A and B are shown apart, each in its own frame.
Chain A
Amino acid sequence: MKVFHMIVDVDRCLHCGGCVGSCPVNAIFLNDFILEFSDRCNRCGRCVKLCPVQALSLEAGA
């Protein structure tokens, strides 16, 4: 089974918090400048789709 990870492109992220408020499982926390994803993240991809500057992506990993 493929495991997907959230990737935050810190060079693109504007720290706007949009992904935080739109996360359906409340799995994202923005500590001013640092975006953190908790274990609750189910990789639904909503934040990826909505990010205005394409700072988020899902990548296949080990």
Chain B
Amino acid sequence: MRTIECDVVVVGAGPGGSMAAKYCAQGGLDTVMIEKKHEIGAPLRCAEGVSKKWLAEVGIEPDPVWIRADMVGAVIKSPSGYAFKLDESKAGSEVGYVLERHLFDKALARDAVKAGARIMMRTYCTDVIREAGKLVGIRAKSMGEPMEIRAKCIVAADGFESQVGRWAGIDTKLALNDLCSCLQYRMVNCDADMEYCEFIIGRSVAPGGYLWIFPKGGGIANVGIGIMGTMAKSGEAKTYLDKFISDDPRFKKSQAVETVGGFVSTCPGLDCAVDDNIILVGDAARIIDPITGGGICHACRTGMYAGQVLTECAKKGDFSKGALMPYEKMWRDRMEDKLYRNWMAKERLAELDDETIDELVRLISTSDIKEVNVYNLLKVIKEKFPKVVEGFEDLI
């Protein structure tokens, strides 16, 4: 059997994997990144909306190649049509760009390659290898050929599926309320506002989740829905989304040119995302904003942290759990409070009926929010609907 030896094997070439591979390679580590699919960044499993602020933090230069549309604001709508529109002056960290993920992901993979990482396409992990109790690499199939990739550390960047961690004994299982079943169409020839991202909340529209319209310019928009696991029934994401599209006049002359399925986790992250000789990043570590379902910035941050920590570990030749714990500290210091706060808020918002959501959006629309982000919205909710944030008000 073919065997490859390297310092770090990264499973999955999404944003988290590519960032980890880039920072590992930059740190002088022999890095191999494998990708199951035949194309990085495709097929799409994303609504493609991101904020702008974090890009500089992870060293990504905005590039028109992968920025499809620049948003000037966001609209939040209630089931009865109350709307809260935030214009450019109030557009905050939750709105920003709508990406072309297939180009964004390839750009990050290119950066990893520039730094010296190797990529193996059409190569998927089938298991981890343990010798004398120690993780020493992964079993993989590359273009159908079984092989072993031996490494000092595994970076599990296998996204929502998050199987590598489980094979390594890390529990990545999710509770039903922390799962969101999603479906999205890329609609063409629609009349949606091309400068605003739209979020529609309410049980009758998207039980426990929300429905989104993220415009991509030229009458094209990603229109999708997420439904909380506890409230989902088989095929219901499609039923709700189809109904919304057929009822909304903006899509009367519109057709779907792409169908995208996908799930997001909406928990506050794994209890621990490292173990001896393995680090989990991004979706695989369940590090996703539980309210927005946004995970690209979290994947990029955790990927970068993983690469930085592994670079340090390599200097001492120690990839034990203890040596990897700085990674755990880094992502928690940066994101844990916000993840936990948004997880609590998600749980509470999911309990509200349509009438309460109507009232909530109406109240928010009369408030003076300087900048739209989840934090500021929760502050208004805390002031006007204190019951909703009971138990975690000190995080707001």
Instruction: Report the minimum CB–CB distance from A40 to chain B (whole Å).
Output: 11
Interface set, chain A 21-62, CB cutoff 8 A to B? 21-22, 24, 26, 29-32, 46, 48-54, 56-57
Knowing A14-B259, A16-B261, A18-B261, the reply to whether A54 touches B235 (Cβ < 8 A) is yes
Q: Mark B223-247, 1 if CB is under 8 A from A, else 0.
A: 0000101001111111000000000
Q: A49 touching B260 by the CB < 8 A rule? A: no
Q: Smallest Cβ distance from A56 to chain B, in angstroms?
A: 7
Report the separation of the CA atoms of residues A57 and B166 in the bound assembly, to the nearest whole angstrom: 25
In chain B, positions 164-187 with a C-beta closer than 8 Å to chain A are: 166-167, 172-174, 176, 179, 181-183
Which of B43, B160, B236, B260 touches A21 (beta carbons < 8 Å)? B160
The size of the chain B interface, using a CB distance under 8 A, is 36
Asked whether A26 lies within 8 Å of B261 as measured between CB atoms, the reply is: no
A51 touches B181 (CB 8 A): yes
**B145-197, CB < 8 A from A:** 159-163, 166-167, 172-174, 176, 179, 181-183
Residues of A within 8 A of B173 (CB): 24
Contact A52 B235 (CB under 8 A): yes
Q: From B37, B163, B238, give the contact of A54 (CB < 8 A).
A: B238
**Does A8 sit at the interface, judged by CB under 8 A?**
no
How distant is B140 from chain A, measured CB to nearest CB, in Å? 12
* Identity of the chain A residue whose Cβ is nearest the Cβ of B160 in the assembled complex: A21
Q: Which residue of B lies closest to A31 (CB)?
A: B124
Q: Tell me how far the C-beta of B221 lies from the nearest C-beta in chain A, rounded to whole angstroms.
A: 19
How far is it, in angstroms, between the C-alpha of A49 and the C-alpha of B179 when the chains are bound?
A: 12
A20's partner among B38, B161, B183, B234 (CB-CB below 8 A) is: B161
Residues of B within 8 A of A5 (CB): none
Is A52 a contact of B166 with CB atoms below 8 Å? no
B262 in the interface (beta carbon within 8 A): yes
Instruction: Tell me how far the C-beta of A29 lies from the nearest C-beta in chain B, rounded to whole angstroms.
Output: 7
The answer to whether B161 touches A53, judged by C-beta atoms less than 8 angstroms apart, is no
CA gap between A57 and B183 in the complex, in Å: 18
Interface residue tally of chain A, by bracket?
A: 20 to 34
Shortest A45–chain B CB gap in Å is 9
A-B contact count (CB 8 A): 84
Residues of B within 8 A of A16 (CB): 45, 260-263
Give the docked Cα–Cα distance between A48 and B179 (Å).
14
A50 touches B238 (CB 8 A): no
- Give A17 to B12 CA distance when docked, in angstroms: 14
- Asked if A52 and B229 sit within 8 Å, CB to CB, the answer is no
Answer yes or no: B308 CB below 8 A from chain A CBs: no
Interface check B36, CB cutoff 8 A: yes
**A49 to B235 CA separation, bound complex (whole angstroms):** 8
Give chain B interface residues in 43-64, CB to chain A under 8 Å: 43, 45
Residue numbers in A under 8 Å from B159 (CB-CB):
17, 21
Pick the contact of A50: B36, B163, B232, B265 (CB < 8 A). B232
Known interface pairs A17-B160, A20-B161, A22-B174. Does A52 touch B265 (Cβ–Cβ under 8 Å)? Answer: no
- Return chain A residues, CB-CB under 8 Å to B234: 48-51, 54, 56-57
CB distance from A44 to the nearest CB of B (A): 11
Interchain CA distance A5-B160 in the complex, whole Å: 25
CB distance from A58 to the nearest CB of B (A): 10
A50 touches B161 (CB 8 A): no
Contacts of A29 in B (CB 8 A): 163
B181 CB contacts on chain A under 8 angstroms: 18, 50-52
Tell me the nearest residue of chain A to B235, going by C-beta.
Answer: A54
Query: In the complex the two chains form, what is the Cα distance from A52 to B235 in whole Å?
Result: 5
A9 to B345, CA, bound (A): 36
In B328-378, the 8 Å CB interface with A consists of none
23 contacts between A and B (CB under 8 A): A16-B45, A16-B261, A17-B45, A20-B160, A21-B160, A21-B161, A21-B163, A24-B173, A30-B161, A31-B124, A32-B36, A32-B37, A49-B234, A50-B179, A50-B229, A50-B234, A51-B181, A52-B227, A52-B238, A53-B183, A53-B237, A56-B234, A57-B234
Closest 9 CB pairs of A and B: A54-B235, A16-B261, A52-B237, A18-B263, A14-B261, A52-B183, A21-B160, A20-B161, A21-B161
Question: A-contacting residues of B (Cβ < 8 Å)?
Answer: 36-38, 43, 45, 124, 159-163, 166-167, 172-174, 176, 179, 181-183, 227, 229, 232-238, 259-263, 265
